[in-house]
Structure 1
Amino acid sequence: MSLRRWMCDVIVQRNVRFQGAVVGRFLATQAKDEAIDITAADEQPIYSNEPQYQEELTKKRNKSRLNPKDRNILMDKPPYEQPIEWYHNTVRYKKRMLGRYGFEGNKEPAGFAWPTPKEVKIMQEYERVAFPESLQERWKKLEEKKQIKAEKVKAEDEIAEKLSKVDQWTAELNARVAKKKAEMEAARLHKERLVEEIRKHFGFRISPHDERFKTMLQQKEKEEKKKKKEAKKKAKDEKLKSMIQKMNQEQETDSTKPVE
């Protein structure tokens, strides 16, 4: 229910209650034993077709006490039957009434709502200036903008992903640097140990550039490589033996299980 309809109902209900109260008081003042002559009443009500009487009757029927404009709007009718203001004769107002109330809201033919040739030319000129490109060209540019935006978003996502891995990469780099330093330090200590062993072998301090020192150093390095190779081979053999023993134990366990 709209606000206007609700207001109308409230006003009507108030008027009905007021009239009922007045009639009740009037009847209460009359004598209870008063006789009413019903034969004096007319059998047929008398109506008058005079404009003044009809206008007065219409006013009495309008219990809402709304002015004609508001009452027409409440009843979904055009507010004015005849133009009152200057803008009521404009095309814009008539189009509005036609769209809201249909043909009842306007006495003009529906063709007046169509634009005139002059207005069509003005709209065409506006479209030519405001939108110089065709629909296909505008659509193509829109697709290009979407593609550029998607590529930009993808690049930003890649950068964000890489930035999130900076700490991990830094830790890995530091670990590699530390490992390299440890290897270099181990190689330096190993070389110093070999040099010290060679000097002990000769019994005096010998120059590293001496051929005897170089020959002994190569021999020591070969021996170290041979020892490492043998140790690696031994570890491999031990691992292979342990695997074979484990397999044999599993086979023995399977063979000792009772057959169900």
Structure 2
Amino acid sequence: MMEEAWETLLKSYVYYKGLPVGTLAAMNPTAEALNYNQVFVRDFVPRGLACLMRPASAGGDPEIVKNFVLKTLHLQDWEKRIVNFTLGEGVMPASFKVLYDSHRQRETLVADFGGSAIGMVAPVDSGFWWIILLRSYTKCTHHYTLSEMPEVQRGMKLILNLCLSDGFDTFPTLLCADGCSMIDRRMGIYGYPIEIHAHFYFALRYSRQMLKPERDGKELIKRIDKRITAISYHSEITTGLISHN
């Protein structure tokens, strides 16, 4: 079963200019109609982790993870629009696909920032996943030069400036998993739902480990430390409530 799963994973590789940059969200006849014939950021993360954990002799491929990190970083700088509204800096794409431009006779990347998603929700969590996968790559390969690249540091800072901004705690896009209880109370109950707690917490922890304390890096590190303390406190309350119930 493991070998069959790995063969299917290899068949789902998406290539850009001859290099693997991700995997298709799904491989079936209805994939295109459902928008699943693209590389989804959050969907690629467990596959990227599999490529990092599997030995190279058995088909492990850390290069696809590196290529994915750099290509999504490149797409972060694009103008991001959803129904004529422009999103702020720092938002990572929800997904992307490779198209062949017959006019220019070359491949091009086309990013989606939530415009084709159900409900057209901006992909707030994509930045978290990107940070987590970046840290996983550097820790697994010991190639720390990737996270130290100026453009990677800049991309990480853009994500952090977005998620550490005032009011981000109560954005519906962050708290949508807890929307079931918003009828008679605010959505931000005890900080975040437990899965958002963990996601946000680890993204901040990994950023703290990779961020270089140069220029505005020191101020960001202070803000990260402050938010980590708050999330840790709320996590203990949430976990206690779950255990009690």
Relative to the length of structure 1, the TM-score reads: 0.16
- Does 1 or 2 have the higher relative contact order (CA < 8 Å, sep 6+)? 2
Larger Rg: 1
Higher-strand-fraction structure: 2
